Amino acid sequence: MKRDPGLYDYLPYSKRPKIEWPDGARVAFWVAPNIEFYELEPPKNPSRASWARPVPDVLNYAYRDYGNRAGFWRMAEAMERCGVRGSVSLNVAVCDHHPEVIEACVKRGWELYSHGTYNTRYTFNMSEEQERALIQDSIDTIRKHSGQKLDGWLAPALTYTDRTLDLVAEMGLTYVCDLFHDDQPGPVKVRQGRLVSIPYSLEMNDAISLSVNLVTPRHYGEIIKRQFDRLYAEGAESGTVMCIPLHPYLIGQPYRLKAFEDALGYITGHDKVWLATGREIAKHFADNYYDAFARASQPVHDL
Amino acid sequence: MISDDYLKYPKRRRGMDHERYDWSILPRRKPIKWPGGARLALWVTVSLQWFPLDMKGQPFKPLGALQTAYPDLRHYTLRDYGNRVGIFRVIKALERHGIRASAPTNAAVAVRYPSLLEELASLNWEIVAHGLDMDHLHYEGMADERSLVTRSLEKLPKVRGWLSPAKSESKQTLDLLAEAGIEYVCDWVNDDMPYEMRAGGGTLWAMPHSGDIDDAQIMIGNRHDEDDWRDQMIDQFELLYDESTVQGGRMMSLSLHPWVIGQPYRISDLDLASRLSFFLWSRGPDDALMNIAVQNRLHEPAVLEQQVRRMLKDPRAESLAVNFAGQWLNLRGLGSSGPLPMIYPDFDDPLRQAMRREVELLFDDIVRQDRNVVDLLTANYTFVNERLAKHYGIENIYGSQFRRVLLPPAMEDRWGLLGKGAFLVTTSKPERTSPVVRGKWIMGNILGMSPPDPPPNVPALPPRAADAAGNAHEPTMRQKMLDHRVRADCIQCHSMMDPIGFALEPFDGIALKRTLGDLVEP
């Protein structure tokens, strides 16, 4: 096992090339709904149990299912009212189970990127060949159901092997959301290809805020605004990225939606905010700043 | 390493990965109509639970389980408090609001406290089976589940519904329940409305019994305080209530546990004093109000007036503007009304929010300054931020903060509520103004004389027609309306509504002043 993932060098926030977003925007803002399918009786992976309770865990299964039946539709309308497109972190099996959900995303001009096949199939312990098959499945399924080229990756349930990001880059994807080390995009050191890490934020993630940190829904709206205010202020010096990762089964609950929509409207009510998708942010960075950031990075030596 | 079978997906297909129920999209279903035209069915459940002292917690400990080494007198008694004391506070609080509840009841409670069951029967509450006790969960691989179902149900004759302890089921729980004659279950939290499940060769209804906003989950599980819990209930209600306007009847589940909500400091959220404080503050009562309520003096007019005046001075009374005015002036409707972007490209969400905030601030100001209520219609000042100021054509206002501005005589038509975006937008159609809707709203909400709904079978407004020369002219709104209300049963009300509405036609569907050309007769 490695002591350092070896995926990036040190690049202090205070000593970086200046990022300029299109039209002088200070913040590249993107919203990433995680549209997921959790299996009722998934196969076992030796490194992680699928459910907190014995299978069938009907409470937790049904809670996730709420997202596709009810929560997604409410969330999507709230985003539409605020003029925000989604970049969907997609368990691609949803294309087969619930094609109506995918149609609703594509119709709104949302980007689809991959979050694995099911959120109950983990990458832990996969061989290189198996992991390639997993990535290829996503490439093929997303193209078949939306016509889109797959550009982004967020590992299913945040499970990895040591080669996950190498394979993702080799197979033609352009960005990953799995690194939480920064508020700006950055180059990822992979075996071959150019891979951009873009900020995805676990802190703004509704699953972390609401289900782990147990903040109240109204306070969740508050911290979104505070996060934005600070990144907007800092973005006057060099462009920042703000992401709100969502889960329809959480944010689409009636008692949570309004505070979130208020916060979203607060953000979109500002000028100099680039309402982007993951793919657009990664491309702008790769085209203009990738090399300069790589050059400015400082190699790290272990003890 | 893992087997290649790990990348095979035998149930990757359209719909669900099991056969219990069908895939169904909530907002695409046929709208439900509740009796009496109700928009929301409120379903209160009060769970009566018993956690035995020798609790094993198998295969997992449910929320509320005993925690210390045996004997955990502390948690045992704290839970049993609900059955001895808490439930009676809950009963009283619900009675004051005229609410009957369903009580999911452990069989152990029925056996141990039969007088409690008699009391609930006398109140006409429904009893729902809730398993044997909180240490007998249903789970896959358990021994003899069938006899556990039988033992639980024989103590609770004639129940129709079932809530599994901790919402835990085995693969066959639903089949066993259906075979035992149960008609609905409350375990699955995947929907906001009832839906049908397959079980035991027939069907069972899945009822949307809330999981993550019940009092125990919010206050014990998430450790939010009782004010936060109530805020979440209010937010839940408001969204479902709003949604019912476009999607048909909705259901709200209010799930209570007397061992949680029945504590003296929490029950106030369901009490008479809190009804008053909800109205003005949207918060629970403070000590002063609670003391007077306890002394039973709140019904004395002088005391009541004194309390209302005191509460109105509190900054928290702003929620009167947000909630009361939101309902009375239909500011909440501003959330669901949608001017069409094709017709009104200038209308966006920040503007919608600013319009709502403007009227909240105006209303709040008039209440706090104790101004004449007529000022609501005539006030020559308002509150705007940059976005709204630009919309109204007021210069030199910058930033997102709202501030008070005087409206000069040249802007007299913006004075008072009827010149405000909130009113003008909510009383318009997505694609055009509606003098009828505006007139009807003013009659109903300002003049206090609601006209009746239109008779059935009224034809739509006439479409454009070609004249003798073959030129098609869109008739003016006024001409269309004149053609429209020749019927005797229409004209009675329209002769009052329409002139009121026409007086406001200089404002378009997003409250912008129109150019004259829009209004000229052909």
User: pLDDT tens for residues B354-408?
Assistant: 998 999 999 888 888 888 889 999 999 999 999 999 999 998 888 788 888 899 8
- Higher-confidence residue: B308 or A14? A14
For residue A301, how many C-alpha atoms fall within 13 Å in the half-sphere facing its CB? 1
How large is the average pLDDT for residues B122-132? 97
pLDDT at B341 (0 to 100) = 82
B2 part of a folded domain: no
Q: How confident is the model at residue B487 (pLDDT cuts 50, 70, 90)?
A: low
Chain A residues whose CB is inside 8 A of the B13 CB are 96-97
Same domain? For B41 and B156 the reply is yes
Q: What is the distance, to the nearest Å, from the Cα of residue A140 to the centroid of all Cα atoms in its chain?
A: 20
Give the side-chain half-sphere CA count within 13 A for A62: 26
Chain A CB contacts of B5 under 8 Å are 43
Q: What is the 3-state secondary structure (H, E, C) of B32-89?
A: CCCHHHCCEEEEEEECECCCCCCCCCCCCCCCCCCCCCCCCHHHHHHHHHHHHHHHHH
| Residues A113-128: tens digit of each pLDDT | 999 999 999 999 999 9
pLDDT higher at B429 or A20: A20
Residues B80 and B45 in one domain: yes
Please state, rounded to an integer, the average pLDDT across all residues of chain A. Answer: 97
CA distance B282 to chain A (A): 14
pLDDT on residue B298: 74
In a domain, B236, yes or no: no
Chosen domain end from B289, B313, B337:
B313
Q: What is the pLDDT of residue B319?
A: 75
Q: Which of A279-293, B202-216, B506-520 tops mean pLDDT?
A: A279-293
Q: Which two tokens stand for residue B456?
A: 């059935």
Q: Are residues B342 and B462 in the same domain?
A: yes
Mean pLDDT to the nearest integer, B435-444: 89
What torsion, rounded to 10 degrees, do the Cα atoms A147, A150, A156, A160 define? 160
Alpha-carbon span B102 to B81, nearest angstrom: 19
Please indicate, yes or no, if residue B169 is contained in any of the structural domains.
yes
Per the model's pLDDT, the better-predicted residue between B112 and B477 turns out to be B112
Cβ–Cβ of A258/B27 closer than 8 Å?
A: no
| Domain stop point among B157, B191, B216 | B216
Radius of gyration over every alpha carbon of chain B, rounded to an integer in angstroms? 29
CA of B169: which chain A residue's CA is closest?
Answer: A58
pLDDT confidence of residue B485:
63
User: Would you say residue B427 lies in a domain?
Assistant: yes
CA distance B113 to chain A (A): 29
Q: Is A198 on the interface with B (CB under 8 A)?
A: no
Query: Would the pTM of this model clear 0.80, i.e. be above it?
Result: no
Report if residue B226 sits inside a domain. Answer: no
Evaluate whether residue B452 is within a structural domain.
yes
Does any CB of chain B come closer than 8 Å to the CB of residue A59?
A: yes
Q: What is the pLDDT of residue B520?
A: 45
As a whole number, mean pLDDT of residues B174-187 equals 98
pLDDT 10s digits, B461-474: 655 556 666 666 66
Helix (H) or strand (E) holding A34: strand A27-35
Q: What percent of chain B has pLDDT over 90?
A: 50
pLDDT confidence band for B273 (50 / 70 / 90):
very low
Residues of B in contact with A134 (CB under 8 A): 7
Same domain, B307 and B335: no
Digit-coded pLDDT (tens) for B6-50: 999 999 999 999 999 999 999 999 999 998 888 889 899 999 999
| Residue-number span of the structural domain to which B74 is assigned | 33-216
Banded pLDDT at B335 (limits 50, 70, 90): low
Q: Are A255 and B213 a contacting pair at CB < 8 A?
A: yes
For A77-86, what is the mean pLDDT? 96
Q: Please, which residues bridge with residue A195 across strands?
A: A188
pLDDT value of position A125 = 96
Q: Which residue of B has its CA nearest to A136?
A: B7
pLDDT of residue B316: 72
Q: Write down the mean pLDDT value for chain B.
A: 86
B256 sits in which H/E element: strand B250-256
Predicted local distance difference test score (pLDDT) of residue B293: 74
Torsion of CA A9, A13, A17, A23, to 10 degrees: 120
- Number of Cβ within 10 Å of residue B255's Cβ equals 25
- The confidence band for B97, taking pLDDT boundaries of 50, 70 and 90, is confident
Q: Are residues B294 and B210 in the same domain?
A: no
Average confidence (pLDDT) over B176-197: 97
pLDDT for the residue B343: 86
**DSSP character at residue A88:** E
The first and second tokens of residue B319, run together, are 């929620």
Instruction: Count Cβ atoms below 10 Å from residue A123 Cβ, excluding itself.
Output: 23
Residue B392 shares a structural domain with residue B484: yes
Taking the C-alpha atoms of residue B494 and residue B224, their distance in angstroms, rounded to an integer, is 52
Identify from B1, B6, B222, B356 which residue to disrupt to test chain A contact, counting A C-beta atoms within 10 A and taking the largest count.
B6
Flag if A255 and B235 touch (Cβ within 8 Å).
yes
Q: Are residues B187 and B273 in the same domain?
A: no
Q: What is the pLDDT of residues B70-84, one digit of tens each?
A: 999 999 999 999 999
Name the burial class of residue B223, with classes exposed (0-12), middle (13-18) and buried (19+) by CB atoms within 10 angstroms of its CB. Answer: exposed
Domain identity same for B301 and B335: no
Q: Which amino acid is at A148?
A: Q
The secondary structure of chain A in percent helix, strand, coil, rounded to multiples of 5, reads 45, 15, 45
Task: Check whether residue B282 and residue B157 sit in a common domain.
Answer: no
Report the C-alpha gap between B302 and A78 in whole angstroms.
46
pLDDT in tens, B499-513: 888 889 889 999 998
User: Which candidate from B60, B236, B243 shows the least CB-CB separation from A255?
Assistant: B236
Could you tell me if A208 lies within 8 Å of chain B, comparing CB atoms?
A: no
Touching check for A85 and chain B: CB below 8 Å? no
Q: Count the domains in chain B.
A: 3
- pLDDT above 80: residue B521: no
Q: How far apart are CA B467 and CA B476, in angstroms?
A: 15
B102 within some domain: yes
Do both B160 and B44 map to the same domain?
yes
- pLDDT category at B451 given cuts 50, 70, 90 is confident
Q: Which of A30-34, A132-136, B447-451 has the lowest mean pLDDT?
A: B447-451
- Decide if A255 touches B, using CB distance below 8 A: yes
Q: Which residue has the higher pLDDT, B433 or B109?
A: B109
Q: Is the dihedral of CA B444, B331, B210, A87 positive or negative?
A: positive
Does B289 map to a domain?
Answer: yes
Q: How many residues does chain A have?
A: 303
Residue B272 has pLDDT above 80, yes or no: no
B chain contacts of residue A269, beta-carbon cutoff 8 Å:
349-350, 353, 387, 400
User: Mean per-residue pLDDT for A279-284?
Assistant: 98
Q: How confident is the model at residue B353 (pLDDT cuts 50, 70, 90)?
A: confident
Instruction: Kindly report, residue by residue over A16-63, the tens digit of the pLDDT.
Output: 999 999 999 999 999 999 999 999 999 999 999 999 999 999 999 999
> How does DSSP classify residue B517?
G
CATH of the domain at B81: 3.20.20.370
DSSP assignments along A225-281, one per residue = HHHHHHHHHHTTTS-EEEEEEE-HHHHTSHHHHHHHHHHHHHHHTSSSEEE--HHHH
- My answer on whether B206 and B347 are in the same domain is no
Instruction: Clarify whether residues B212 and B271 are in a common domain.
Output: no
